Structure formats: C-alpha cells, structure tokens
Structure 1
Amino acid sequence: MKGRGRAVALGAGTVLNALATGVGSAFALDVETTATVELDGSGRIEGAVAEQPDADTRLVERCVELTVDRYSPDERVGGHVRTESEVPMAAGLKSSSAAANATVLATLSALGVDVGDGPAAVSRLDACRLGVAAARDAGVTVTGAFDDASASMLGGVTLTDNTADELRSREERDWDALVWTPPERAYSAEADVSRCERVAPMARLVADLASEGRYAEAMTVNGLAFSAALGFPTEPAIEAMPHAAGVSLSGTGPSVVAVGERAALEPVAAAWDERDGTTRLTTTRTDGARVL
C-alpha cells in the first residue's frame, strides 16, 4: 500500500480540566500542527518531529497504525509520519491532540478515504476518537483528552464527557487570545490526579457554567482551582482578571490563556512580557482540522 497525505489540526486552550470529574471543555486556538504521512507497506512505521530529533513519536506512529487497521485492514502497515508544529510541547496547549488529529487525517488522505459528512466519508468526530484511542495506547494522557481533541478537530468551544468520548455541545466564540508560556514544561500523563479530584466541586460548577454558555467565567473558576491543585501560581491570572473576559491555566499547565478583546488584553500582554517565557497574542478558531 502506497499513498501520501497531509493535514493540519489546531492547538487549544482550556475551559474545564477533565481530570477532576471526567467532564472537560476546551476551545481551538490559531496555532497549527501539520502532519505528513507516507505509506509504503514496509511493515514498520517511523515517526519524526521537525527540529526535535529526540522527540517521543509513539503517539503519531500509533495513530497511523490504528487508522490503517480500521480503514484498510487488509493492508500491511508501514511508512513514515512527520509533524511540524507551532504548538509548544508539554505546555498545556494540546500539542498531543493536535498531532494526533493531524496524523489521523493525513493517514486517511494517504489511504484515499474521504473525510466529511458524506455517506461514505469518515466524520471528523470519528477521526478524532481514533486519535484519542492512540493517545491512551501511547500513555500520553490520563483522561483520553477527548475535550482537547474535539476542540482541535472541530474548532470552536466543545464540552465533552471524556469517560464516554461523548460530545455534549459545541459552540463558536470569536475571541482574541493571549497565551503566556513559561520556560518549564508539564506532561499531562504525570499530573497529580488525586489532587485534581479534590477540586471536583469546583469542576462541577465550571461544567454548569459551560453548559450555560458562560465559558469565559467558567475558565476563570477552572484556572484558580486547578492552579491550586497542580501547584502553579495564580498571579498571572490575577493580573489578567481586570481586563480579560476569562483566564485559565491551560490543561495541566504551565501555560496560561486569557480571552477577550484585543485592546483589553494589551495591558495583560505588557504584564506577562515582564515574566520569563513567551507571550503570544492570537485568536480563537472555529474551522477546526482539515486535510491539505
């Protein structure tokens, strides 16, 4: 089996961390990961990450395996997958979800399988679930991260039940977004789940707010609760609160994301620029992942 495909998926920010209750919510950001898949039937899959020769490629390799097994089971799995990303790894901005989504879509393209809403096409949501399954197999996530993956794949703001890989709702929000990423990194699979479960009452409140469409308020409550649970400082969020519509620790950190109007976020950017790390002013996205 030979074929080549390319696809792109989005990074995302957090409304509700799913570690406490299994219910999560996330929104797509205008930062992209591109995957290129070349199938050759060699029986071996080799992964690579651009400019990171020592990166762990088990996730994207597993995405190729699962996708070929599901949609072309009689073919011998083999080939190469390479990702290039604007999303920093282990920064809470859903780099794994973006890589998985892009790889699954690129593999489907390499197989000649259509993605879309047609009767013979694979839906983006089903493609997303394949990436989530690969993430669990690769051990890069505790919850399966269906909330993060659905936002990355579909765009907009999603609310999910990660225990059932169920999409509860999806809405569109056009926000400007400010992202501060400190130098340190935090890996989702290493998060202290027991401490996160202690803030479950706050997580349930956040889920209620999100289900009412009050996403900006929800993310601020989430950020304070999970910063405390995971041991991250709340000062960046407090600096943003007088100006932003909402602000939260993203994922299991360490990045913090504020949303609102661009002019309102500028003083927050000035404050965050004084901190170690990088500050990026971007926007939300509503279009989601796509085959190139």
Structure 2
Amino acid sequence: MDGRAAAPAAGTVLNALATGTGSAFAIGPEVTATVTLGKGSVSGTVDGVDDADTRLIERCVELVTETYGDSQGGTVRTDSEVPLASGLKSSSAAANATVMATLSALDAADEVTRTEAARLGVEAARDVGVTVTGAFDDASASMLGGVTVTDNDRDELLHRATREWDVLVWTPPEQAFSSDASVERCRRVAPVADLVADLALDGEFKRAMTVNGFAFCSALGFSPDPILNALPDVTGVSLSGTGPSFVAVGDAMDLTAVRERWDERPGTTLLTTTQNDGARIDD
C-alpha cells in the first residue's frame, strides 16, 4: 500500500489574515510525498531536515486513513524544492502531496474531488496549529493549480482562473512562520484587503497583489523596498504570505531587470512560472 504524489508551491495575491478572504497562485517548485501504509502509528520524515516538525504530514495521513481507510499507520516522507517558512506555501504543498499520496496508497483517489482533498490538508493544518487562517487559499491554489480566491472562514472556493505568467521569487536568508504573524495588526488593513479582494474577483490579479504587498509589508513589519525595486518593470509584485519572500509576475524580459536588482540583496532569487495543473499522483 504505497503512494507518491507532488504538489506545487504558491505565491500570494491576497493575504487572508485581514478578512478571511484570500487569493494565491500555484508556481513551479514542488513538494513530493511518499507514503507507505501498514500497522502501528504514523511516522514522518522530511528529507534533509533532521529536526523537522512532521506533525502536519503525519496528521494528513491519519485523517485520510480515518476517512477513507481503516485508520492504518505507516510512514510518510516529503522531499521539498520549496524553502521552509519562506511564505511560499510549503506547508500547504506538503499537506496536499501527503493527502494525495495517501489516497493513492488506499486506491481511493477517484472517490475524492480535489477541493475535498485540499480541505483535508487544511483540517490537518488546523489540528496541529501551523496555520492562523486555515490557508484554504494556499491549499486550493496548490491542489487545483492556477489562481484561486477563497473564503477561508468557510473553506469555500469563490473563483479560479488560469494565468501563464513568468514568476520571480526572492527569498532572504531569514524565516517567518505564519503562526507567529500578528493577526491584530493585519486586521487593521481590512479595508485595503476588501479592495484587493474586489480586484482579484474581477481578475485584476496583478494590481491586486501589488496593493496587497504594500498593505501587508506595513502590517507585518517588512520593508516595501523589494516592491519598489520591481516597479515599474512589472505591475504585479507582493510580499508572499507572511514573508519573508517576495514574488513578482510578468514576462521573462521584464523580470530579468527586476532580478538584477533583487540579486543585489542577500538571499536567493528563482525564476519560474505559474503552474495551472495543481497536485498530481505519480504512478
């Protein structure tokens, strides 16, 4: 009873911390999960990270087997191209990959819609306390691909679209955990978040993410300089999640100019693309 699946990372259009409405888009880097079911409890490992917190992926296996199996135990291992605690939705990608790998191991993937599978990962994230909002925006973008807009209070998908963008990511050396973010400060920018949500629901994703970026840099204490470095070469650039990464979208030529400036900052840059297919099961 083995299963293997992969799910993409994501960038932010609208941070859901202010109002519960969020928006995200899937990007190229992936997290892969390998699940082997058997007896006993569930044990998880993260490849290359000896002291990793494995509660989320273990809880994902437990929830799937409780719901669609016989509460089997077993092992789960994830291998990530996505830096941890970087604002690029590594937790959502790991949860989605684990859920899909477990469903594959149970031969139950056809019984569950992708949206339902994403909700299982969100439930696991809430159970172990790694998310403030439930992160259904991040989970849905990673699971379904494309750009999604969601009501995270009700785990409801409000809108989904596909976009063919080149994407530039800058990740500084430090980490930022979403569970440590100040919800109170984020709620102060709720009127701006409402405007961003309206733009996103109208398909104005690039404008939406730039407004989001300025608002949440202020709320979360990040410098907006990386956004200013990217403007006016691109119209879509934002702090991703609760940071510390920033993402810019556009065409490769414009992003090359942005990359030259972002490369002067400590950390790493990555040029990738949007991903419109979402999570997949590897046979």
TM-score tier by shorter-chain length is over 0.9
For 1:182 and 1:216, locate their aligned partners in 2 and report how far apart those are by CA, in whole Å: 22
Q: Which residue of 1 aligns with 2:97?
A: 102
1:273-284 equivalences in 2 (<5 Å): 273-284=263-274
TM value normalised by structure 2:
0.99
Q: 1:126 aligns with which of 116, 132, 135?
A: 116
For 2:216 and 2:235, locate their aligned partners in 1 and report how far apart those are by CA, in whole Å: 18
For 1:247 and 1:211, locate their aligned partners in 2 and report how far apart those are by CA, in whole Å: 18
Q: Secondary structure at the match of 2:109?
A: coil
Q: Which residue of 2 aligns with 1:51?
A: 48
Q: Secondary structure at the match of 1:150?
A: helix
Moved over 6 A (4+): none
Gaps of 5+ in 1: 116-120
Q: Does 1:16 align with 2:14?
A: yes
Q: Which residue of 1 aligns with 2:243?
A: 253
**1:76 Cα shift?**
4.0
For 2:241 and 2:18, locate their aligned partners in 1 and report how far apart those are by CA, in whole Å: 12
Q: Does 1:29 align with 2:24?
A: no
Write the letter of the residue equivalent to 1:264. Answer: D
Q: 2:60 aligns with which of 49, 59, 63?
A: 63
Q: Secondary structure at the match of 1:37?
A: strand
Q: Which residue of 1 aligns with 2:278?
A: 288
Maintained 8 Å contact 2:27/2:275: yes
Q: Does 1:158 align with 2:148?
A: yes
**1:189 Cα shift?**
0.6
For 2:256 and 2:280, locate their aligned partners in 1 and report how far apart those are by CA, in whole Å: 31
Alignment deviations for residues 264-284 of structure 1 (CA, whole Å, 9 cap, x no partner): 111110000000000001000
For 1:88 and 1:108, locate their aligned partners in 2 and report how far apart those are by CA, in whole Å: 25
Q: Which residue of 2 aligns with 1:87?
A: 82
Q: Secondary structure at the match of 1:169?
A: strand
TM value normalised by structure 1:
0.96
**1:245 Cα shift?**
2.7
Q: 2:106 aligns with which of 82, 103, 111?
A: 111
For the aligned residue pairs, the C-alpha RMSD in angstroms reads: 0.6
Q: Which residue of 2 aligns with 1:77?
A: 72
For 1:151 and 1:114, locate their aligned partners in 2 and report how far apart those are by CA, in whole Å: 19
**1:112 Cα shift?**
1.1
Identity level (%): 65
Gaps of 5+ in 2: none
For 2:71 and 2:164, locate their aligned partners in 1 and report how far apart those are by CA, in whole Å: 44
Q: Which residue of 1 aligns with 2:174?
A: 184
Write the letter of the residue equivalent to 2:20. Answer: G
For 1:114 and 1:233, locate their aligned partners in 2 and report how far apart those are by CA, in whole Å: 43
For 1:208 and 1:114, locate their aligned partners in 2 and report how far apart those are by CA, in whole Å: 34
For 2:224 and 2:277, locate their aligned partners in 1 and report how far apart those are by CA, in whole Å: 31
Q: 2:212 aligns with which of 222, 245, 248?
A: 222
**1:87 Cα shift?**
0.7
Write the letter of the residue equivalent to 1:155. Answer: G
Q: Secondary structure at the match of 1:189?
A: helix
For 2:250 and 2:109, locate their aligned partners in 1 and report how far apart those are by CA, in whole Å: 36
**1:258 Cα shift?**
0.2
Q: Which residue of 2 aligns with 1:6?
A: 4
Q: Which residue of 1 aligns with 2:196?
A: 206
Write the letter of the residue equivalent to 2:76. Answer: V
Q: Secondary structure at the match of 1:20?
A: coil
For 2:31 and 2:109, locate their aligned partners in 1 and report how far apart those are by CA, in whole Å: 20
Alignment deviations for residues 169-219 of structure 1 (CA, whole Å, 9 cap, x no partner): 100010000000000000011100000000001000000000110000000
**1:165 Cα shift?**
0.1
Q: Secondary structure at the match of 1:66?
A: helix
Q: Which residue of 2 aligns with 1:235?
A: 225
Maintained 8 Å contact 2:62/2:71: no
